[in-house]
A and B are shown apart, each in its own frame.
Chain A
């Protein structure tokens, strides 16, 4: 009963019992260190420290001979060095190098400690005597610390080869096909009833003016037919759990009220709907066209399935409808009782390709959008230009007449402190494209109001030249306002764009029939929630933050989660596609490797000491700590733990500890840096 009832403080045993035999290797780093630190004095000092069996200096310890020097001491039958202190540059430079060196010599790589006397001493301390003294302190700290080091192994967790891709725009589609073609299983989740994103709305794409549908729709259908792709449209990510290699994700599938498996997309139900005429603003047509409560977003929609809008369907709103859609459906696919469904999937990696949102120009009232009928957004005009659009490709005003003069206002919701400070990158080019298309379709006068013309990209500038030759007018200066008010007869019944022409240095009033606002690209409102769900972050503007703006543009700070396309920042189609490719290959690289290596400096719980006080649990930013009810103890999932040690510092019982940063290791270092100098 005794030990059980009276547990007690026993003096700490050193890890793995054996006695430390420490080797200290001091680097001159040419003159980088030797110049302001007396390395010889340092060596003599090191020799006298407890358990130090070898102390050597060398010009460049990181060089092959230097590395050999260390290996030899470890393997020397008399010296038997079993702990190594490297005294030189910052551990952030060569810790890995020397870990490799000592493990090659048969020592566990974590029996190494680095004393940083270059960045922290020789380069910042002019006085040699002072520098040497400080170096001694740091060296002693390292010697005392390495004494406490324990043998550790890097941990490997297998990577689940399945992949989740969020967002079915051109980026998501490209990534999905690339990965699926490589033989991996892909879940593609899209919020709208059909994939395709913005590209599906366009008529032509710059600078080649090739038909958007012609290049996109084949990809969409191969997504549908691909054996390795599970496509869930009209669905959203509801919950994310787990970590790189092993995510557990819940997908919310919104009810279509149409059985997706049986629906043939034959339009019979749409024809049969009790609403004889389309009556409600069509989302896909961004309000330019109308649809019925039951509809198919567009002819090439993927999946090509009907969907019922619960807010306008008589049956679903009032419960009173003769349900002619259901009657006519030969497949009995209509199901008014359909409810939301939650799918649980397990994947190893995730690509977010959630894209962007077009700026809502109501936020820039000076342009009169929503006030004047004939002020349109660029997206609306994309639909007007589209042969499959509401006007069959004719660019006409709301009253059906063809505009004789059109103004295209650049940078609406871009490069504007009042709304969005950034350049939306794609607008100049798509404005040029629209200029071409509306001119071609209306033969009217087209005026572009721009701040700067930005055409960086293969054959973009050439495209600009082409449009110039077509006789489109360009006025350099941000448009101040769009008003329906006439100063003279010429302006009567027109929209007047007022802008400073900064080339001529005058304010100009240009009366036109139609105004097209080239709206900028914005992050989605819920970008931050999505980021939080995946434990990553958004910049202040709301774009997803990449791990490194230059060297890791598709990585995020959450391992295993990648980003592609405009969700990372404004992008045109070519850039989105190439980023999607990059993200896909990062994913494939991880899958191909098959496992993830984790630094072993994770936290762990000494169960005998844990009283189950819960202090640590809420402190973990990675929800790596959970409470084991039957044991009544906290548990740390080492695969989730990133090794910050916050829980360790907080644990009131000292039951939580961190490998490679244990209390004892740090106490030793504290004593070391203070005791001898």
Chain B
């Protein structure tokens, strides 16, 4: 078969069927088009993300650990089971749980005990991967280049990574000046613009509660636009949501007139691979992405 000869487990996470629907709707067809085999994790549960983590760490770890254990269960005879978690929060949650269980005997003990009570076992075979990691390090940019049917030439995009997929536990990219998304975009024919706010905070869950956090979003948008971006590409449902949905509020608050579409990098991949925009959930965008005539 084409693609990587590896087999991956797909962990959707809650946002995939909620605010982050467009992310899943673009990720799955893109991976299929590339021939990367991915089966959904059976009976998966909440990753125990940020909020829970701050309430009760042990329980949050246990939630994540169950997913890891299930994954190992699903591929009993693989030395390494690779879980692909597109959602940045899920990716971080699972990765953090794995790190602590693997390295901290006390936490590890507690969690394993908890798993046993559900007749589950986590041996460490499960690895947590982000789509960008898989694309660049497993699949390879050269192979991806061959697959591009419709180069997005002329499109200028600000690659926005957010904080969770590059800090603090992941190691597939640089924590302050990440490059993988830029590399993927360049392969698609996109011009990935040079801008300083690739990993700046998007306000996270706080944007709901208080205005000051709008400033954080505004900084990112202002810089993306100021640096000449036609669009922002994200790898996180939360970031995508924050950057997209508050643009009206921001224009009002900082009397700032510009708009910018905020898409998932996987949606841009889909377009370049020749998949129809509507099959990539792009119809859900508040701010439609206008492709330059050159495309």
Do chains A and B directly touch (beta carbons under 8 Å) in the complex? Answer: yes
Interface set of A (CB-CB < 8 Å, partner B): 364-366, 368, 418, 481, 483-485, 487
Instruction: Give A365 to B166 CA distance when docked, in angstroms.
Output: 14
Instruction: Give A97 to B195 CA distance when docked, in angstroms.
Output: 73
Taking a contact as CB atoms under 8 Å apart, the answer to whether A365 and B197 are in contact is: no
Instruction: Give A640 to B174 CA distance when docked, in angstroms.
Output: 48
A499 to chain B, nearest CB (A): 14
Q: Given B176, B195, B223, B226, which contacts A365 in the complex, CB threshold below 8 Å?
A: B176
Measured between beta carbons, the chain B residues less than 8 angstroms from A418 are 175
With A484-B196, A485-B197 as contacts: A364 and B176 at CB distance below 8 Å: yes
Instruction: Give A365 to B182 CA distance when docked, in angstroms.
Output: 16
Instruction: Give A247 to B124 CA distance when docked, in angstroms.
Output: 51
Measured between beta carbons, the chain A residues less than 8 angstroms from B223 are 485
Measured between beta carbons, the chain B residues less than 8 angstroms from A483 are 196-197
Interface flag for B219 (CB, 8 Å): yes
Which residue of chain A is the closest to B222 with respect to CB atoms? A487
With A368-B196, A481-B196 as contacts: A487 and B219 at CB distance below 8 Å: yes
A515 to chain B, nearest CB (A): 14
Instruction: Give A418 to B171 CA distance when docked, in angstroms.
Output: 11
Which residue of chain A is the closest to B194 with respect to CB atoms? A371
Taking a contact as CB atoms under 8 Å apart, the answer to whether B176 and A485 are in contact is: no
Taking a contact as CB atoms under 8 Å apart, the answer to whether B196 and A485 are in contact is: yes
Taking a contact as CB atoms under 8 Å apart, the answer to whether A366 and B177 are in contact is: yes
Measured between beta carbons, the chain B residues less than 8 angstroms from A365 are 174, 176-177
Instruction: Give A139 to B52 CA distance when docked, in angstroms.
Output: 65
Instruction: Give A572 to B63 CA distance when docked, in angstroms.
Output: 51
Which residue of chain A is the closest to B195 with respect to CB atoms? A485
Query: Knowing that A365-B176, A481-B176 are A-B contacts, what are 17 other residue pairs whose CB atoms are under 8 Å apart, sorted by A's residue number?
Result: A364-B176, A365-B174, A365-B177, A366-B176, A366-B177, A368-B196, A418-B175, A481-B196, A483-B196, A483-B197, A484-B196, A485-B195, A485-B196, A485-B197, A485-B223, A485-B226, A487-B219
Measured between beta carbons, the chain A residues less than 8 angstroms from B226 are 485
Measured between beta carbons, the chain B residues less than 8 angstroms from A366 are 176-177
Measured between beta carbons, the chain A residues less than 8 angstroms from B175 are 418
Q: Mark B164-199, 1 if CB is under 8 A from A, else 0.
A: 000000000011110000000000000000011100
Within 8 A of A (CB), among B192-210: 195-197
Measured between beta carbons, the chain A residues less than 8 angstroms from B195 are 485
Measured between beta carbons, the chain A residues less than 8 angstroms from B196 are 368, 481, 483-485
Measured between beta carbons, the chain A residues less than 8 angstroms from B174 are 365
Measured between beta carbons, the chain A residues less than 8 angstroms from B219 are 487
Instruction: Give A365 to B177 CA distance when docked, in angstroms.
Output: 6
B116 to chain A, nearest CB (A): 34
Instruction: Give A10 to B176 CA distance when docked, in angstroms.
Output: 76
A202 to chain B, nearest CB (A): 30
B194 to chain A, nearest CB (A): 8
Instruction: Give A339 to B223 CA distance when docked, in angstroms.
Output: 55
Of the A-B pairs whose beta carbons lie under 8 Å apart in the complex, a sample of 18, sorted by A's number, is A364-B176, A365-B174, A365-B176, A365-B177, A366-B176, A366-B177, A368-B196, A418-B175, A481-B176, A481-B196, A483-B196, A483-B197, A484-B196, A485-B195, A485-B196, A485-B197, A485-B223, A485-B226
Instruction: Give A368 to B177 CA distance when docked, in angstroms.
Output: 10
Instruction: Give A151 to B47 CA distance when docked, in angstroms.
Output: 74
Instruction: Give A185 to B226 CA distance when docked, in angstroms.
Output: 66
Which residue of chain B is the closest to A365 with respect to CB atoms? B177
Closest 9 CB pairs of A and B: A365-B177, A366-B176, A483-B196, A365-B176, A485-B196, A485-B223, A365-B174, A487-B219, A418-B175
Instruction: Give A487 to B226 CA distance when docked, in angstroms.
Output: 11
Measured between beta carbons, the chain A residues less than 8 angstroms from B197 are 483, 485
A615 to chain B, nearest CB (A): 38
Within 8 A of A (CB), among B77-129: none
Measured between beta carbons, the chain A residues less than 8 angstroms from B176 are 364-366, 481
B100 to chain A, nearest CB (A): 17
Instruction: Give A368 to B176 CA distance when docked, in angstroms.
Output: 10
A551 to chain B, nearest CB (A): 35
Measured between beta carbons, the chain A residues less than 8 angstroms from B177 are 365-366
Measured between beta carbons, the chain B residues less than 8 angstroms from A368 are 196
Instruction: Give A487 to B174 CA distance when docked, in angstroms.
Output: 25
Which residue of chain A is the closest to B219 with respect to CB atoms? A487
Instruction: Give A485 to B197 CA distance when docked, in angstroms.
Output: 9
Instruction: Give A481 to B167 CA distance when docked, in angstroms.
Output: 15
Which residue of chain A is the closest to B215 with respect to CB atoms? A487
Instruction: Give A366 to B167 CA distance when docked, in angstroms.
Output: 13
Instruction: Give A365 to B198 CA distance when docked, in angstroms.
Output: 12
- Most chain B CB inside 10 Å of its own CB: which residue of A418, A483, A485, A487: A485
Measured between beta carbons, the chain B residues less than 8 angstroms from A484 are 196
Q: Mark B217-245, 1 if CB is under 8 A from A, else 0.
A: 00100010010000000000000000000
B219 to chain A, nearest CB (A): 7
Instruction: Give A58 to B174 CA distance when docked, in angstroms.
Output: 70
B138 to chain A, nearest CB (A): 25
A56 to chain B, nearest CB (A): 53
- Most chain A CB inside 10 Å of its own CB: which residue of B174, B195, B196, B219: B196
B89 to chain A, nearest CB (A): 22
Which residue of chain B is the closest to A480 with respect to CB atoms? B176
A536 to chain B, nearest CB (A): 32
B26 to chain A, nearest CB (A): 29
Which residue of chain A is the closest to B179 with respect to CB atoms? A365
B69 to chain A, nearest CB (A): 30
Instruction: Give A483 to B196 CA distance when docked, in angstroms.
Output: 6
Instruction: Give A487 to B197 CA distance when docked, in angstroms.
Output: 12
Which residue of chain B is the closest to A482 with respect to CB atoms? B196
Instruction: Give A364 to B175 CA distance when docked, in angstroms.
Output: 9
Instruction: Give A487 to B223 CA distance when docked, in angstroms.
Output: 9
A229 to chain B, nearest CB (A): 47
B56 to chain A, nearest CB (A): 27
